[in-house]
Structure 1
Amino acid sequence: MSAPVTTHSPRADQPSDHGPVVAAGLVDAHIHPDKSSWGGAWMSRAAAADLSEFIANDLATQRGYTRSVEERAHALLQSALASGTLAMRAHVDVSSELGLRNVEGVRAAADRLAPWLTVQIVAFPQFGLLTNPGTEAVMAAALGAGADLVGGIDPLGLEGDVAGHLDAVFGLAARSGRDIDLHLHDGGEPGLAQIREIAERTLAAGMQGRVTVSHAFALADASEPRLGETLDRIAEAGIWVTTCALGDDPVLDPGLLDRHGVQLALGSDGVRDSWTPFGTGSMVDRAHLLAYRTGAMTDAELERCYRAASIDGGRLLGIPEISLPVQRDSPTRLEFPGESLAQIVVDRPAPAAALRDGRPVPGR
């Protein structure tokens, strides 16, 4: 796939006189707006040694918020839109305790920004699907209350039952006709084995192109003997993977995935929530972090990181106007000050203009 159209001046030390850099709209393929404290006072965070402690901190933080899910999510979504994000996939908590309130809050926030920002909601069992009784029923209800996809989380590491967890996730997807986006933090061969099992189930269910594995930290360990085999199985099953280049988390190598034919999109993950004090909601910032973390050097490598945050995300979410390289007159596009798309990834400017379907995006 060719990179979005860019402009170049004859010399890198002189400003371009050929107009702005034109680029595809940005897509945040993995974000948690219901958890965010965006727009509120500074929030101090407790330390966490493992996933279970992070999850406990998260639940305590959500219980303590005084601002509604809709208010906090809208503040973050509005900021992301101003930074050029035109679509996102939001992973939103559902559980026996939270019920549908987070899904309803994020959907209400998203509706206020339509049609400029497209938001897909994943019903996400952050606190366990099997281990938190009643959550599976809430997941099913969420799919009729604003959620678009079925989520899942660490079938082995959190739930301790790979077959049971995947039975529930794929069962919900089959009954509702929805796609799947499943968190997988487990590393090493246990993580790879779960990914291969997800690939097998995807093929058996005929869901090629409709399943995403988010984070997929096991795919970042080049020392694993079965990494190549696992990547080939993912490609065969048409599974998407998302990475977020967040903090000290493992980050997936776009070049390696490209060589195996694996589809990659980029997201923010948590933004100013109990999990992290960092994040801006800008996918230009996130493309910069992906490039930095993976040692991008050439223009092609830098542009590849932008593509993961734009066109490839548009393909994942199935948004035609953000799924192809743009031209100067494309009705959906961003315009940046600068000389080239590679420079944009390094310098991280805000877009000077954003259009969707030929209309300027408001609030810029």
Structure 2
Amino acid sequence: MTVPPNLPLLATPGFVDSHIHPDKTSWGEPWLSRRPAHTLEELIANDRDSQFDFASSTEERAYALLSNALRNGTLGMRAHVDVSTELGLRNIEGVRAAAERLAPHLTVQIVAFPQFGLLTNPGTLDLMAASLGAGADLVGGIDPIGVEGDLHGHLDAVFGLADRAGRDIDIHLHDGGEEGLAEIREIAARTIAGGRQGRVTIGHAFALCDETLPSLGDTLDRVAEAGIWIASCALGPDPVPNIDRFERHGVRLVAGSDGVRDTWSPFGTGSMVDRAHLLAYRTGAMTDAELERVFRIATTAGGAMLGVPDLAEWAGPAAETRLEFAAENLAQLVVDRPAPVRVRRAGADITG
């Protein structure tokens, strides 16, 4: 990028993509035409049908996407990767291999994700356990009621595996309404009972975005007490959080890309500059302070969730880990979405 004359470079912390699915991406492949889907069940079915249709390997597609993210300033990532009886561990192994090719510049934490069911797909729990020795770092879960139909059985399996393996937890939860809030309160109760404060994340958590629900305030308080992280992706028509209310209740929010050019959606670039812009737009950010807050959600908040010091704590413009942009300030950066002029991690310049 050519830097306009007389415009000093703006140094910033690195971006963190706190929720992404690199094993599903078609990045680097020919255009993928999507089938219509109007429900979560239809989206999952489309995804399941496509897993063996890609010409290139999981590693190569994931590497192409992760490389692009790195060039655009993403230095940390929480990657959700499918584990199932159909797929075995191949997606976990492919994404881990891609991540190793970009280490140490890009920090990647992999969540073993039972997209196609944990209890309803017998054998998946054993594969989830095996994945923790094959490259996965965290135990995932998905809609205990909406997908599995068994709130306590699903959470028993997820928390039990995490306890046995000494791993953290990151659960997808799309279920809305009071039922969704009840699921979140149960996750919070188990988090506190197990001493897991700060070690559990809920992705999407659409029920927390519904201001009409009577128990929302109480649920937000319980989420804050449990130290649960909430990951929002601000996709399409999906609900987005009221960031002011989250802050009042002490709920910690991070941002991610979710799917990028996969069967779920043709959109996404893997750039957290773009995602910060989208989150700001979807949540009605207007003032510089509101735009700067969204920038923090997409950078240092994600670093704190990952527990990576050089991404969670920033020492300022001279920091050895930093991005540099042709922008006047953070507010303009979020609005204009420039690519970084320079990406630097631990004293090394990165070209991707």
Q: Distance in 1 between matches of 2:314 and 2:93?
A: 34
Q: Distance in 1 between matches of 2:273 and 2:261?
A: 17
Task: Determine if contact 2:7/2:327 at 8 Å carries over to the other structure.
Answer: no
Tell me the secondary structure at the aligned position of residue 78 of structure 2: strand
Q: Distance in 2 between matches of 1:133 and 1:16?
A: 62
Per-residue CA deviations over 1:320-356 (Å, capped at 9, x if unaligned) read 0011244121110101001010000000000001111
Of 56, 59, 73, the residue aligned with 1:84 is 73
Q: How does 1:121-136 map to 2 (within 5 A)?
A: 121-136=110-125
Alignment partner of 1:256 is 2:245: yes
Per-residue CA deviations over 1:45-70 (Å, capped at 9, x if unaligned) read 00112111111100111121121100
Q: Distance in 1 between matches of 2:65 and 2:308?
A: 21
Structure 2: where are the runs of 5+ without partners? none
Question: 1:345 is matched with which residue?
Answer: 334
TM superposition score normalised by structure 2? 0.98
Q: Distance in 1 between matches of 2:261 and 2:38?
A: 19
Question: 1:182 is matched with which residue?
Answer: 171
Question: 1:12 is matched with which residue?
Answer: none
Per-residue CA deviations over 1:142-178 (Å, capped at 9, x if unaligned) read 0010000000000000000000000000000000000
Of 200, 217, 226, the residue aligned with 2:189 is 200
Task: Determine if contact 1:16/1:338 at 8 Å carries over to the other structure.
Answer: no
Counterpart amino acid of residue 179 in structure 1: D
Task: Determine if contact 1:121/1:149 at 8 Å carries over to the other structure.
Answer: yes
Q: How far apart are 1:16 and its partner, in Å? A: 8.2
Question: 1:11 is matched with which residue?
Answer: none
Task: Determine if contact 1:23/1:326 at 8 Å carries over to the other structure.
Answer: no
Tell me the secondary structure at the aligned position of residue 63 of structure 1: coil
**Alignment length (residue pairs):** 349
Q: How far apart are 1:20 and its partner, in Å? A: 1.1
Aligned alpha-carbon RMSD (Å): 1.0
Q: Distance in 2 between matches of 1:186 and 1:16?
A: 50
Q: How far apart are 1:18 and its partner, in Å? A: 6.1
Percent of aligned pairs with the same residue?
Answer: 67
Tell me the secondary structure at the aligned position of residue 313 of structure 1: helix
Alignment partner of 1:173 is 2:155: no
Question: 2:282 is matched with which residue?
Answer: 293
Q: Which runs of 4+ in 1 moved over 6 A?
A: none
Q: How far apart are 1:19 and its partner, in Å? A: 1.7
Q: Distance in 1 between matches of 2:19 and 2:7?
A: 34
Question: 2:153 is matched with which residue?
Answer: 164
Structure 1: where are the runs of 5+ without partners? 1-14
Task: Determine if contact 2:172/2:205 at 8 Å carries over to the other structure.
Answer: yes
TM superposition score normalised by structure 1? 0.95
Task: Determine if contact 1:28/1:89 at 8 Å carries over to the other structure.
Answer: yes
Tell me the secondary structure at the aligned position of residue 65 of structure 1: coil
